[in-house]
Amino acid sequence: MSAVKWWGVSYTDSVANPTTGIPTIAAFLWRKGQMINLGNFGGTLSGIAEMNNRGQVIGTSSLPGDELFDPFFWNDGKLVDLYSETVGANVYTANAINDAEQVVGAGAFSDHPYDAYVWKGGVAKDLGFLDGDCYSEAFAINSKGQITGQSYSCDASNARAFLWQNGTMFELNQLISGNTDFKFTQAFVINDRGEIGGIGTPPGCDFDEDCGHALVLIPCGPDRLDRGCEQAVQIAAITSDINVSPTRRASVGTSVNVTGRDLALRLQSRFGRNRSFGLPHLK
């Protein structure tokens, strides 16, 4: 268990930088009475997204000139640039980390410009996207390796929430049982019981409207009936008889012709997922 108590960002001086107009901002951990500067990639802005119970940290740091930002993984004094130091992909976002040192987000692979991934030990695995889509991004992972996120249409105009486990990506709305008119649109967190938190929308509500509701999806099965999940918005236990198509590849030829960084900006703006941790957006 890590002895880290707090983490955050701090100014390192009071001199405004010409590129940002503000002093240098550094990500830090506070441990045993000391503030530890996590370092940066040559820019003047850095921030933390999440930390696990082992004291390992993910976040972002600007590059020289402060126009580009790369995600990082920090462990015991070593700062890893996930964009340039990952085998198999250029990582654009690092959104969550579990205690098994697995990181999830979105990155560019050799055949697809913006796919959800799971990273460990310097290697990123492409999780794919839902049937008919072209892009995806992962936002949460639990200790069992279950991953939640969103899969995006080829014109980046629509998103579907997914659950990935054991090599297969499921569309969450196809797993929902019970009487509900809500559509689960954004999956932000998943705990070790498989409960998923996020945003759901009622009929007639669009992503661009302020009509979403916070929802929790509860896995239901024989061992969960005592939790009363039959009376809640829920997802069915995932078993072999559920008719959900596994991850398939769509044609990238119909996709938006933009870079991965530009696509990250577009998706963040369209679907409300700003993962720059209080820093300026990716450029």
Q: Which residue has 């980390």 as its token pair? A: 97
pLDDT tens string 48-83: 999 999 999 999 999 999 989 999 999 999 999 999
What is the reported pLDDT for 257?
62
pLDDT tens string 86-118: 999 999 999 999 999 999 999 999 989 999 999
What is the reported pLDDT for 92?
94
What is the reported pLDDT for 273?
62
pLDDT tens string 143-174: 999 999 999 999 888 899 999 999 999 999 88
What is the reported pLDDT for 128?
95
Quick check: 75 and 58 in contact, CB under 8 A? no
From 170, 168, 137, select the one nearest 263 (Cα to Cα): 137
Whole-number Å distance between alpha carbons of 169 and 162: 6
257 or 123: which carries more pLDDT confidence?
123
Split at pLDDT 50, 70, 90, the class of 179 is low
Q: How far is CA 113 from CA 149, 250, 260, 264, 281, in A?
A: 17, 12, 6, 10, 19
The neighbour count for residue 228, using CB atoms within 10 Å, is 11
pLDDT tens string 218-276: 887 655 544 445 444 344 333 323 333 333 333 333 445 667 788 777 777 777 665 54
From 112, 119, 128, select the one nearest 95 (Cα to Cα): 119
Whether pLDDT at 185 is above 70: yes
Give the SS3 label for residue 253. Answer: helix
